């Protein structure tokens, strides 16, 4: 009987272990984070009390603000918090020295400073934004109480820097020493897993098995990963020398991944247009090359790509790339036997040109990935960083909103002489700063107000009914622990992050006792009422004053997306491709987040991104081709085909700045004219020199035209029958 039960017991133990490891990788990580926050907060509070700092709660609040699940994020946030605190303290001391006797001028200058800092936070949207946040509200939180006693302003700034430094040191030590979760490990895992997902996405697309909805959803995921990995890369330099040595390659890898996704999207879009237009002869002619690549990538699909796998992939792609030209020549000869039209031949050449460029970029990506195994490598030299794009009007609106709130609440405080008015203004400055970098400041401020209200109810009970009955630091920790654990849990959930943050920060602000505890119910109730009122004013301002999740910003970001084509046409060629790729994706990532809950808006923005990437990338390739053309009369600047391409560029600028039916027709005519000019140049010179460069130029021009006529593109609404007719016979266009 025992022997019969042994397999059952073994399976039970195996299942239990699997369940435990699954829990450890999900909820277990959250609970480790919660207990680390608890330990770091109590260690900081104990040290602050032992050192008799004026406000131990400030040191503990620093722990709640800088603590993150990953130690690298803690290092980065702590670094920028310290810099922001120094900047805010310096500005506060200067303002007090200048305007200590004039409250109105002090509040006006403070509002301007907080507005500038909030605009900076909205501009950067990463841990650097937190430095701007701290620079803004540190000046308010030190300067407003110091107005009553300006002679103590400098020492107040010194004490605050010391309290924040203590919190930073404790949070950093606990995060790095106790079950550390490193950002570098998260980044390696994300890099290894990302390519397997992409390879499966490519093989499905090459075989025609991907649906439009899946294609769009995958691209949104790749965009979010590219932006997220850039943030992770900037964090890993703080914690891991191993990753710091590879910082250039990590930046290059992210840039190259964006490049291969754009290459494949262009190829996929062309294939889908050919399949939907029933161009079976072209599809069948290019199918062998696609099938060979799909079979090559099958071995890397849906699995992690290690450094060794990267080397194997690079070798396989090098062999495929070396054989591809001969394969194309063979398939072209077979295809031309069927006497295809000029349009079909252009489709054939364009598809294989896009395929070759995709394989070439994919080979470069594999080489960079494989190079991560070495401490030093020549691919480390990379000077094309990720270039984020933020709408200037959106950042200015955030600054205007913050300055307005400070002016209104500060004026109310001065006019009414309310004792808690300074608290209201201080908390409003902190709230408007903390919510400035979020997609929905109104929601964030309101959630923080809810968390603060909950903290006020708990704090009143603890302050006046529990704290007088306990004695000693251990019992104080026992009473504070449930609130800190609840706040940490809520802050680890994105949908309740504002509630958790408000509970942790403002429960500590109003209810954690100082070394000399003062029990004053009147001041307690007034201060909490002022805090909640300040946050509600911030929420109202976020909903009324140029809210960032409203239609006006979607339109601005859509316009910025279209302007990326203008950037591709007129920007400096050095580093242009990388800047274009990262800027376009960053704009879409912002717009997609701001349009949450609006699927139609999100779909429209995503489709604008596709056409912008397709046209912009083709233009950059055209510019590169023209920059490296050999000396020959056919390539001279005065040639009609080069002049026609310049005219096409101006037409595309007009189209993407102001989409309309007439501008689309004008752009299509200009593209067709450029193709006919290249064709006219190609034929007389063909017997005398290699026309492959002109063939590539013609392929990119043809791809631009098919992108403009894509029925899935947002430009399709401007298409007219005459423009469609023009696209059928490009060689006869005027």
Q: 69 vs 427, which has greater pLDDT?
A: 427
pLDDT at residue 363, as a whole number? 93
Percent of the chain clearing pLDDT 90 (strictly above): 18
pLDDT at residue 10, as a whole number? 54
**Backbone φ, ψ for residue 253 (5° rounding):** -65, -40
pLDDT tens track for 669-712: 999 998 888 877 755 544 444 457 777 888 888 889 888 888 88
Distance, CA of 594 to CA of 556 (rounded, Å): 12
Does residue 726 have a pLDDT over 60?
A: no
Q: What torsion do the CA atoms of 32, 37, 42, 45 make, to the nearest 10 degrees?
A: 160
Fold of 183-380: Methane Monooxygenase Hydroxylase; Chain G, domain 1 (1.20.58)
- Please, which pLDDT band fits residue 630 given cuts at 50, 70 and 90? low
pLDDT tens track for 653-668: 999 999 999 999 999 9
pLDDT at residue 647, as a whole number? 92
Over residues 46-57, the mean pLDDT reads: 90
Tokens of 146: 């110091």
Does residue 643 have a pLDDT over 70?
A: yes
pLDDT at residue 8, as a whole number? 52
- Please, which pLDDT band fits residue 45 given cuts at 50, 70 and 90? very high
Distance, CA of 162 to CA of 6 (rounded, Å): 62
Percent of the chain clearing pLDDT 70 (strictly above): 91
Can you give the pTM of this predicted structure?
0.81
Ranges of each domain in the chain: 28-181+394-544, 183-380, 551-713
pLDDT at residue 5, as a whole number? 53
Closest CA to 403 of 113, 99, 137: 113
Distance, CA of 393 to CA of 563 (rounded, Å): 15
End-to-end CA distance of the chain: 91
Over residues 497-508, the mean pLDDT reads: 90
Which of 70-74, 287-291, 565-569 is the most confident on average?
A: 565-569
pLDDT tens track for 99-150: 878 888 888 898 999 899 888 888 876 777 878 888 887 888 888 887 777 7
pLDDT at residue 569, as a whole number? 92
Closest CA to 153 of 145, 163, 164: 145
Tokens of 355: 């395929």
Over residues 586-594, the mean pLDDT reads: 81
Does residue 733 have a pLDDT over 50?
A: no
Helix (H, G, I), strand (E, B) or coil at 479: helix
Mean pLDDT (the chain, rounded):
83
pLDDT at residue 339, as a whole number? 60
């Amino acid at each position: 009987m025992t022997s019969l039960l042994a397999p059952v017991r073994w399976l039970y133990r195996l299942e239990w272990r699997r369940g435990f490891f699954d829990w450890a990788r999900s909820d277990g990580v959250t609970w480790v984070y919660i207990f680390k926050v608890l330990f770091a907060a109590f260690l900081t509070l104990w040290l602050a009390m032992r050192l008799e700092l004026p406000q131990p709660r400030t040191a503990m609040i620093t722990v709640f603000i800088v603590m993150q699940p990953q130690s690298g994020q803690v290092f980065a946030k702590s670094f920028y918090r310290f810099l922001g605190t120094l900047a805010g303290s310096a500005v506060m001391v200067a303002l007090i020295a200048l305007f200590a006797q004039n409250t109105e001028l002090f509040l006006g200058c403070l509002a301007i400073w907080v507005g500038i800092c909030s605009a900076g936070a909205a501009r950067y949207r990463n841990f650097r934004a937190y430095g701007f946040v701290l620079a803004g509200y540190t000046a308010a939180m030190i300067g407003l109480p110091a107005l009553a006693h300006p002679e103590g302003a400098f020492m107040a700034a010194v004490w605050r820097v010391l309290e924040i430094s203590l919190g930073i040191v404790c949070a950093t030590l606990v995060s790095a020493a106790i079950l550390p979760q490193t950002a570098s490990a998260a980044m390696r895992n994300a890099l290894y897993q990302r390519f397997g997902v992409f390879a499966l996405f490519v093989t499905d697309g090459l075989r025609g098995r991907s649906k439009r909805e899946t294609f769009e959803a995958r691209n949104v995921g790749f965009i979010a990963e590219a932006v997220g990995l850039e943030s992770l890369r900037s964090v890993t330099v703080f914690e891991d020398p191993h990753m710091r040595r590879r910082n250039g390659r990590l930046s290059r890898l992210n840039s190259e991944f964006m490049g291969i996704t754009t290459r494949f999207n262009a190829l996929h879009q062309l294939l889908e247009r050919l399949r939907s237009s029933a161009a079976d002869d072209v599809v069948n002619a290019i199918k062998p090359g696609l099938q060979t690549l799909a079979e090559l990538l099958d071995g890397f699909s849906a699995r992690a790509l290690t450094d060794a796998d990267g080397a194997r992939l690079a070798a396989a792609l090098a062999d495929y790339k070396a054989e591809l030209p001969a394969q194309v020549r063979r398939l072209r000869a077979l295809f031309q036997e069927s006497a295809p039209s000029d349009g079909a031949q252009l489709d054939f050449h364009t598809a294989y040109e896009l395929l070759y460029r995709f394989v070439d970029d994919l080979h470069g990506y594999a080489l960079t990935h494989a190079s991560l195994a070495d401490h030093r490598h020549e691919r480390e030299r990379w000077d094309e960083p990720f270039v984020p794009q933020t709408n200037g009007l959106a950042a200015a609106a955030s600054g205007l909103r913050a300055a307005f709130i400070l002016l209104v609440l500060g004026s109310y405080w001065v006019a009414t002489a309310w004792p808690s008015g300074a608290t209201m203004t201080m908390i409003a400055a902190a709230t408007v700063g903390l919510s400035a970098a979020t997609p929905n400041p109104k929601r964030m401020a309101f959630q923080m107000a809810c968390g603060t209200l909950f903290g006020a109810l708990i704090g009143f009970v603890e302050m006046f009914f529990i704290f007088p009955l306990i004695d000693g630091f251990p019992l104080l920790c026992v009473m504070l622990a449930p609130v800190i654990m609840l706040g940490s849990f809520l802050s680890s959930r994105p949908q309740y992050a504002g509630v958790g943050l408000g509970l942790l920060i403002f429960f500590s602000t109003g209810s954690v006792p100082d070394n000399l505890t003062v029990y004053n119910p009147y001041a307690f109730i007034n201060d909490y009422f002022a805090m909640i009122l300040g946050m509600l004013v911030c929420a109202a301002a976020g909903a009324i004053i140029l809210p960032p999740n409203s239609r006006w910003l979607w339109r601005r970001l859509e316009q910025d997306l279209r302007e990326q084509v203008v950037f591709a046409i007129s920007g400096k060629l050095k580093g242009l491709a990388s800047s274009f790729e990262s800027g376009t994706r960053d704009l879409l990532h912002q717009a997609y987040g701001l349009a949450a809950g609006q699927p139609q808006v999100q779909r429209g923005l995503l489709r604008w991104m596709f056409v912008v990437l397709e046209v912009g990338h083709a233009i950059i390739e055209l510019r590169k081709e023209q920059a490296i053309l050999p000396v020959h009369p056919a390539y001279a600047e005065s040639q009609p085909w080069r002049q026609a391409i310049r005219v096409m560029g101006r037409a595309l600028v007009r189209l993407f700045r102001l989409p309309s039916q007439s501008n689309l027709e004008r752009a299509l005519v200009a593209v067709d004219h450029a193709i006919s000019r290249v064709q006219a140049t190609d034929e007389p010179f063909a017997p005398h020199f290699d026309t492959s460069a002109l063939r590539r130029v013609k392929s990119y021009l043809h791809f631009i035209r098919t992108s403009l006529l894509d029925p899935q593109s947002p430009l399709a609404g401007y298409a007219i029958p005459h423009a469609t007719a023009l696209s059928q016979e490009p060689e006869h266009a005027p």
